[in-house]
Amino acid sequence: MKESFTQSMDWLHTWGGLLFGWVLFTIFLTGTLTVFDKEITFWMQPELHHVDSAHVNIKAVEQQLTRLGSNSDRWWIELPSVRTPAVTIFWQRDDQENFEERWLDPTTGEILQVRDTRGGDFFYRFHYSLHLNRTGVWIVGASAMVMLVALVTGLVIHHRIFKDFFSFRPRATFHRAWLDAHNVTSVLVLPFHFVITFTGLVIFWTIYMPAGIQFLYGGNSDKVFHELEGHLEREPARSPAALASLSDMERQARAHWNGGSTESIEVQHPGDRHAIVNVSRRAADRLALMSDRVTFDGATGELLQVWKGELPVFTTYSVLIGLHYIWFDHDAIRWLYFGMSLAATVMIATGLLLWIIKRRDRHTERPLGFRIVESLNVAVVAGLLVAIAVYFVANRLLPVALPDRADWEMGAFFLVWSLCTTHSVVRAHSQQAWREQLSVAALLFALIPLCNMATIDSHLLVTLPAGNWRLASVDLLCLLAGLLLGWAAWLVNRPVEQVHPSSASLTGAEQA
């Protein structure tokens, strides 16, 4: 081997990072939004903003399900939480494949007319499948593996990791400044990068490492979880029997949980003599994403099983995925995750830019490959930001009664993203493309709170005085994003003063 070990690691970091950087950027940016997915969903359903979830009338909810899902074989009730105020009910349709979904007022059980939107769930799905189903999950998995490789190789090639630990020299040369930004967002947040990437892979172990399941369970991963979670199943008896009181069962279940609250109630074969009711505990106060469960006989209300996941291997797995999902109630950790995840996104973006900056001065005329990378950088980094802003705006501006409204919202997102991609290719100078797309993104983000004021009655002027931070923070973060992107656009707009190499190294030395 002619090259040194560090050189080959550098090569791997550069090219692996470049090829997968674009996908990783979209994964991490949508992942950052997913930290607040339920808050975004709530913001996108203004019809639920005034719902009071202090008292939950399970009896009324049960009546709705009896009425709506009388022929269904399976019901789910999701109870309200701090993050979602309404009761959500689902029931299986006759085709056994799809579910119907409705939002109910927790106190009265009345159906709430909510605009059709995917809300923050869209970002969540995109985060792990890129809207490409199983193929997307594979692409995301491969990217996560490359991310791990990039993290390790990055550590190897970063010679001055301790000497430059706190170095950020924004006034030095372009290359120095961006490299510092890249290093700082990597090194200081390194534990998060490793944990989030690894646990992300763990979530889909059944897809990525199916050998064991293939061998022991004939490839049926549902069977594995049934066994691990000790689910009780039974065939319907095909003879009708009234369902015992769900609210009684829910109360009994809570007695087993030492103050824990109920997340959901599942009914299998409702109205049958063999009905089964599963009451699950909200995993709000633990890292492990693992819900204790109490199972009842639906017809008699008799207690069948109390499950508390004591299997060490399953607990370990649940803690790992819990660290990724953060479905527990801990606002401080949620915000910290948001910050760290944003740092990871910045790390990837700066890495992509560095590839260009390193090579920019070497070429007098720009080869095709170089121009492709330049355009893709604009399309992915700035274009995705524009598309995200459009998704928020579309949620407010599309008519509420529009058929297939949720699809239109997503359509707007993808349409605008493709327009941005075209724009970045058509524009001869990438600097122009950057400036224009960043300006558009800044404007759109700043517009979001205004759209809110024009279309609904729970906007900043109402939510701020009322101290409704769950809604206000979405608007405020949009404003902040608008400001920051505007600043970025202004920075790009400045005439580039070519820093003279000698003076640059001088300022660098002064700063150091």
Partner 1 sequence: MRWMTLILCYNGWLGLCLAMPKYCRQVLQQDAAPPSQHILRIIGWACLMGSLGVSVAVEGWSFGPVAWVGHLAVMGLALVCLLPYVPRIVLALGALGMASVIALWFT
**Counting contacts by CB under 8 A, is residue 191 touching partner 1?**
yes
**Counting contacts by CB under 8 A, is residue 327 touching partner 1?**
no
Q: Which helix (H) or strand (E) holds 455?
A: helix 430-455
Taking the complex as a whole, the smallest distance from the CB of residue 261 to partner 1 amounts, in Å, to 18
**Counting contacts by CB under 8 A, is residue 512 touching partner 1?**
yes
When binding is defined by CB under 8 A, the residue of 63, 133, 170, 469 that contacts partner 1 is 170
**Counting contacts by CB under 8 A, is residue 208 touching partner 1?**
no
**Counting contacts by CB under 8 A, is residue 336 touching partner 1?**
yes
How many other C-beta atoms are found inside a 10 Å radius of the C-beta of residue 509? Answer: 9
**Counting contacts by CB under 8 A, is residue 166 touching partner 1?**
yes
Query: Taking CB under 8 A as the criterion, which residues in 381-420 touch partner 1?
Result: none
Question: Is the CB of residue 63 less than 8 Å from the CB of residue 75?
Answer: no
Q: Which is nearer to partner 1, 245 or 315 (CB)?
A: 315
Question: Is the CB of residue 183 less than 8 Å from the CB of residue 168?
Answer: no
Of 25-33, 101-109, 142-150, 328-336, the window that binds partner 1 (rule: CB under 8 A) is 328-336
**Counting contacts by CB under 8 A, is residue 54 touching partner 1?**
no
CA distance 327 to 120: 14
Question: Is the CB of residue 119 less than 8 Å from the CB of residue 139?
Answer: no
Taking the complex as a whole, the smallest distance from the CB of residue 6 to partner 1 amounts, in Å, to 24
**Counting contacts by CB under 8 A, is residue 192 touching partner 1?**
yes
Of 89-97, 143-151, 184-192, 204-212, the window that binds partner 1 (rule: CB under 8 A) is 184-192
CA distance 220 to 228: 13
Q: Which is nearer to partner 1, 158 or 273 (CB)?
A: 158
Taking the complex as a whole, the smallest distance from the CB of residue 188 to partner 1 amounts, in Å, to 4
Taking the complex as a whole, the smallest distance from the CB of residue 288 to partner 1 amounts, in Å, to 8
H-type alpha helices, 204-305: 205-208, 211-217, 221-228, 246-254
**Counting contacts by CB under 8 A, is residue 286 touching partner 1?**
yes
Question: Is the CB of residue 20 less than 8 Å from the CB of residue 142?
Answer: yes
**Counting contacts by CB under 8 A, is residue 168 touching partner 1?**
yes
Of 163-171, 304-312, 366-374, 429-437, the window that binds partner 1 (rule: CB under 8 A) is 163-171
Q: Which is nearer to partner 1, 340 or 394 (CB)?
A: 340
- 126: three-class secondary structure by DSSP: helix
**Counting contacts by CB under 8 A, is residue 189 touching partner 1?**
yes
Q: Which is nearer to partner 1, 191 or 467 (CB)?
A: 191
Distance set, CA 423 to CA 67, 186, 271, 502 (Å): 52, 31, 58, 37
Of 46-54, 76-84, 180-188, 228-236, the window that binds partner 1 (rule: CB under 8 A) is 180-188
Taking the complex as a whole, the smallest distance from the CB of residue 287 to partner 1 amounts, in Å, to 5
Of 10-18, 94-102, 182-190, 489-497, the window that binds partner 1 (rule: CB under 8 A) is 182-190
Q: Which helix (H) or strand (E) holds 88?
A: strand 87-92
How many other C-beta atoms are found inside a 10 Å radius of the C-beta of residue 447? Answer: 19
Q: Which is nearer to partner 1, 171 or 223 (CB)?
A: 171
CA distance 242 to 63: 12
Q: Tell me how many degrees the CA angle 152-156-158 measures, rounded to the nearest 5.
A: 115
Q: What is the distance, to the nearest Å, from the Cα of residue 290 to the centroid of all Cα atoms in its chain?
A: 19
CA distance 498 to 365: 18
**Counting contacts by CB under 8 A, is residue 426 touching partner 1?**
no
- 81: three-class secondary structure by DSSP: coil
In the chain, the N- to C-terminal Cα span, in Å, equals 36
CA distance 237 to 299: 11
**Counting contacts by CB under 8 A, is residue 454 touching partner 1?**
no
Q: Which is nearer to partner 1, 193 or 423 (CB)?
A: 193
Token output for 68: 């709506």
- Identify how many contiguous H helices and E strands the chain contains and give both numbers: 20, 8
Of 212-220, 223-231, 330-338, 482-490, the window that binds partner 1 (rule: CB under 8 A) is 330-338
Q: Which is nearer to partner 1, 170 or 411 (CB)?
A: 170
Distance set, CA 101 to CA 63, 77, 184, 246, 257 (Å): 15, 10, 45, 19, 28
CA distance 226 to 314: 12
Q: Which is nearer to partner 1, 86 or 187 (CB)?
A: 187
**Counting contacts by CB under 8 A, is residue 188 touching partner 1?**
yes
Render the burial of 475-496: b for 16+ CB within 10 Å, e for the rest: bebbbebbeebbebbeebeeee
**Counting contacts by CB under 8 A, is residue 340 touching partner 1?**
yes
CA distance 311 to 133: 31
Of 57-65, 337-345, 366-374, 396-404, the window that binds partner 1 (rule: CB under 8 A) is 337-345
Among residues 328, 327, 303, which one has the least CA distance to residue 253? 303
Q: Which is nearer to partner 1, 143 or 318 (CB)?
A: 318
Taking the complex as a whole, the smallest distance from the CB of residue 191 to partner 1 amounts, in Å, to 5
Q: How many residues bind to partner 1 according to rule CB under 8 A?
A: 28
Residues that bind partner 1 (CB under 8 A): 163, 165-171, 184-185, 188-189, 191-192, 286-287, 323, 328, 330, 332-333, 336-337, 339-340, 343, 511-512
